[in-house]
Amino acid sequence: MINFTVGPVQSDYEIRKLGLEQIPYFRTPEFSKVMAESEKLILKFLNAPENSRAVFLTASGTASMEASVINILNRKDKVLIVNGGTFGQRFVDICNIHEIPFDEIKLGLGKSLTAEHLKKYDGGGYTALLVNLHETSTGVLYDLDLIDKFCKKNNALLIVDAISAFLADDVDMGKYAVDAVITGSQKALACPPGVSVIALSERAQKRVFANAPKILYLDLKRALKDGERGQTPFTPAVGILLQINARLRQIDSLKHGAADEIKRVASLAKYFRKAIKGLPFETVPENPSNAVTCLRPLNISAYEIFTTLKDEYGIWVCPNGGDLKEIIFRVGHIGCLSFEDYDRLIAALKAVTGEKK
Ligand SMILES: *Cc1c(COP(=O)(O)O)cnc(C)c1O
């Protein structure tokens, strides 16, 4: 079985081996030390300015999206949401549920956000912008430079869901004034699902402490306070956090750290994209993330490709849901994958699309 989905993705042997160990008790100086190191490494990989913090929540990425919105923002904010697919819509749903006023920029399938789109909202009194840097449902990567300029000009907070972009595309909290970066354990971190991470700028932390969220489990004040001593308010997914720490240390030991991991993911994406040229697929996004290639097959249903690859070739690609189920599918480039894995996938895709038996 080879897994080319966008999460959970394949973990390497060293990380999987840790899953065999007994789970240690965690209210100890030893575990606190591990957590402090993980926080430091996350912030390092994000090039986060001094006084930034990162918290680890035992919950999937969506919980960290929701926690970011309800802890940093409140009903007096006016939010702009970039909605280019399933995950943009999720921010819309979160703001609706929590009654946070917003406008949304709706983008067509795989379409990039442009200066033209943003122009309309310039000077509109927006206090925050929410974006999924890589809208994983279509593979489009938005232009952070453009978004950052808009936010700075409008003095708006910038909350970035980088759940699938972290360690696959460049996410730089130092270069850009990003107030919150969200990621999750099962994407490019390539660990089991169950933990998500929020890195917070000093400005975002101030908002968190000034706000009064009506929630206990996702209260970031508690997470930040306990995190100061390497602890979490509630029992975390201790085993996964140990795997995350090992994975972060692995990446840190690379010559150029996170940049090398991003390069590795990019090289897998490039290899695959080059090899499928000439196959009956249209590439969906204009500006694709390194993490995923989103394809529209021209002569066969996308869902049939997913099913045939799974049942006949032992290969998992990522199907889309809803209206797009038959139309597009995605091939991931994150996790423990090799060029040989792609050779197998490419041969299978050729066979399935009838290009070469
Ligand atoms: C995977 C993903 C999520 C959702 O994460 P869950 O862990 O399934 O809650 C949110 N946003 C983006 C961009 C993602 O890729």
Q: What is the pTM of this model?
A: 0.97
Residue 315 Cβ contacting ligand 1 at under 6 Å? no
Segment 123-146 shows an average pLDDT of 98
Residue 163 Cβ contacting ligand 1 at under 6 Å? yes
Ligand 1 geometric centre to CA of 355 (Å): 34
Residue 61 Cβ contacting ligand 1 at under 6 Å? yes
Ligand 1 geometric centre to CA of 346 (Å): 26
Sheet with 53-57, strands from edge to edge, namely: 53-57, 196-200, 180-184, 157-161, 128-132, 79-83, 102-106
Q: Pocket of ligand 1, candidates 6, 56, 83, 163: which has the most ligand atoms within 8 Å of its Cβ, to mutate?
A: 163
CA–CA separation, 195 and 240 (whole Å): 7
Residue 164 Cβ contacting ligand 1 at under 6 Å? yes
What is the tens place of the pLDDT at every residue in 315-344?
A: 999 999 999 999 999 999 999 999 999 999
CA–CA separation, 227 and 237 (whole Å): 15
What is the tens place of the pLDDT at every residue in 142-180?
A: 999 999 999 999 999 999 999 999 999 999 999 999 999
CA–CA separation, 247 and 244 (whole Å): 5
Ligand 1 geometric centre to CA of 354 (Å): 33
> Does the pLDDT at position 357 exceed 80?
no
CA–CA separation, 158 and 128 (whole Å): 6
